Amino acid sequence: MQDELALLSSNRVHVVAARSNHDIPSSRSGQPSVAVRAVEAVLDAARDETALPPCPEIFSGFDIRCAS
C-alpha cells in the first residue's frame, strides 16, 4: 500500500532504502543517511516554496530504489 499512499500527492518522492530494515533511522539498520536526506529535501522545498526534485536528484549516490 505504500505505492498507493505515495500516489495521493503530486508533490512526492517515494524511495526504498535497499540495505535497511524497518528501522531506517537507526544506524544499526544501515541507511540513516537516506532518512536525513529525505527530511533535508522536504525542508529545502518548503523554504524555497518549490516542488520536490525527482527522486534520483535527491538520492544520487545512495543505495536506494526510487519507486512510483
Place of cell 512510483: 68
Nearest to 65 by CA among 23, 34, 36: 34
The Cα 15–Cα 47 span in angstroms is 22
Query: Would you state the pLDDT for residue 27?
Result: 66
Task: Write out the three cell numbers for 8.
Answer: 495521493
| Claim: this prediction has a pTM higher than 0.85 | no
Give the model confidence (pLDDT) of 4-58 as tens digits: 998 999 899 998 888 887 777 776 767 888 889 999 999 999 999 999 999 999 9
CB 15 within 8 A of CB 55: yes
The Cα 47–Cα 44 span in angstroms is 5
Task: Write out the three cell numbers for 49.
Answer: 516554496
Q: Where are the domains of the chain?
A: 2-67
Q: Is the pLDDT of residue 68 over 90?
A: no
